[in-house]
Homo-oligomer: A and B are copies of this chain.
Amino acid sequence: EDAPTVDQLDQRIRVLERQLELQQEDADTNARKTATVSASDKGFTIQSADNAFQFRFRGLMQADGRWFLDDKAPRTNDGFLLRRVEPTFELTFSRILFLRIQPNFAPDSATVSDVYGELRLDPAFYLRAGKFKEPIVLENLQASAGIKFNERGLPNEIGPNRDYGVQVGGDLLGSTLSYAIGVFNGAPDGRDGKQQPDTDNRKEVAGRLFVEPFKNDPGLLQGLGFGVGGSCGDKNGSGDSSQVKYRTPGQNTFFSYLAGSGGTVAYDGAETRISPQAYFYRNRYGLFGEYIVSRQKVSLASDSATLSNKAWQVLGNVVLTGEDASYAGIVKPKRALGKDGYGAVELIARYGELEIDKDAFPIYASPTASANKARNWAAGINWYPLANLKIGLDYSQTGFDGGAASGDREDEKLLFTRFQVAF
């Protein structure tokens, strides 16, 4: 065979150059067209190459134990339970349409937590419709994966939980001010609203303003936030699904309005709630507090009154292993178990009170069956071996004024355990 000529080599190099160029173009085209996937501690996603469409799978599983330390107290049985089982689909369409479907399989009959569509026209304006949390109570708005104790505190018994309705909201001033205002079917204190056919024809308006003035300024006050939430609306109803019942952290009812053969107390007009709230997070330390008062008109037979029930709490946490505390709540350990350490550890403490209007007794509630005041303190420890795992142990004690034939209802003393997987 003859040695190749320089011209032949030149030819072959040209071919190679062109082939390489084409290969690179192919790869670039593919990257532009091909949807991408990811799997991490933040969940599992499929998204289109231009990011306009996204599927994200997230979830939360809480396997709890509840152990009452005193057999005398009025209480449910000890035992294991699934507190939340929420596989969650978060979907984005054309960049501006968002859909969240969050079922909850923990109850014996599965139901939904959040389900809503949201049209995000601007950071400063979204329109949301479906079922979601009324924008009022600070701890209630914290994601369930991030709350510090097994059960939220007493103010959540007065604020509403999730409800059916529409809401607008957004972030202003460089995200230092967030607002939300919505119209809802109306939820009884501490509970979910009911969907149409609603318990009544009246609707409830709820809103919240929250400010983090130094959010964009690294410094001492960067993690400071404060605001106010509230609601107002007529209510009308006396059935079980509109009845007010306040519960302890152990989920035992310590206050309810009279119901039954002696007559049933009815919601009978305006309810107004207002809740100032604040938090402060700085490095490993976190503190938040909130207050809520609800004024509501109730009636029984020919009597009627406007009663004010109120609650407040303060909650603090410190991450012993040095990771940052935050309102989002989940601590991602610097040194994970099975890798280079044993995870993160956090101490938590809380105190709160709930007080019933004195005028509720004895016409609208029985002083020997319902307490007029509850005081709860709780302390515990959370261990985060991995970013997606939390193992928690906390003790909660609730004392009462009234609520028993003999005077004060027995204290509820309760040990909580939790095994939580969140992603």
Interface positions of A (Cβ within 8 A of B): 3-7, 9-10, 12-13, 16-17, 19-20, 23-24, 26-27, 34-41, 44, 46-48, 53-55, 57, 59, 61, 63-66, 76-82, 85, 87, 89, 91, 93-97, 99, 101, 103, 105, 108-112, 115-117, 119, 121, 129-131, 164-166, 184-185, 195-201, 203, 336-339, 385-389, 419-421, 423
| Cβ B387 vs Cβ A93 within 8 A | yes
Rounded to whole angstroms, the CA-CA distance of A384 and B45 in the bound complex is 26
* Structural contact, A110 and B103, CB atoms closer than 8 A: yes
Q: How many copies of the shown chain assemble into the complex? A: 3
- Answer whether A93 and B195 are a contact pair too, CB < 8 Å, given A4-B10, A48-B38, A385-B119: no
Residue on B nearest A24 in the bound complex, by CB: B23
Within the complex, what minimum Cβ distance (angstroms) separates A228 from chain B? 25
Q: How far is the CB of A224 from chain B (nearest CB, A)?
A: 33
* A115 to B: closest C-beta gap in Å: 5
Contact A105 B111 (CB under 8 A): yes
Once A110-B103, A110-B105 are accepted as A-B contacts, the answer to whether A196 and B6 lie under 8 Å apart by CB is: no
Please measure, in the bound complex, the distance between the C-alpha atom of A81 and the C-alpha atom of B193, giving whole angstroms: 10
Can you list 28 A-B pairs, Cβ within 8 angstroms, ordered by A?
A: A4-B6, A23-B27, A39-B53, A39-B55, A44-B53, A55-B57, A59-B91, A61-B99, A61-B101, A61-B116, A63-B116, A63-B129, A65-B196, A80-B166, A82-B130, A82-B131, A87-B101, A91-B421, A91-B423, A94-B336, A94-B387, A97-B388, A105-B110, A105-B112, A109-B110, A119-B385, A119-B389, A130-B419
Q: Are A196 and B80 in contact (CB under 8 A)?
A: yes
Task: With CB as the reference atom, state the residue of chain B lying closest to A338.
Answer: B96
- Chain B residues in 8 Å Cβ range of A64: 196
Assembled-state Cα–Cα distance A9/B17 (Å): 12
Q: Which residues of B contact A24 (CB under 8 A)?
A: 23
B59 touches A101 (CB 8 A): yes
> A6-B9, A196-B66, A197-B76 given as contacts; is B111 within 8 A of A109 (CB)?
yes
Of all chain B residues, the one with the shortest Cβ separation from A85 is B115
Complex: A114 Cα to B250 Cα, angstroms: 25
Docked-complex contact A421 and B105, CB < 8 angstroms: no
Residues in B whose Cβ lies below 8 Å from that of A337:
96
Q: Within the assembled complex, what's the spacing in Å between the Cα atoms of A46 and B55? A: 12
Bound CA–CA A40/B166 (angstroms):
26
Q: Could you tell me if B338 and A386 are in contact, using CB atoms closer than 8 angstroms?
A: no
A385 cross-chain contacts in B, Cβ below 8 A = 119
* Residues B94 and A101 in contact, CB atoms below 8 Å apart: no
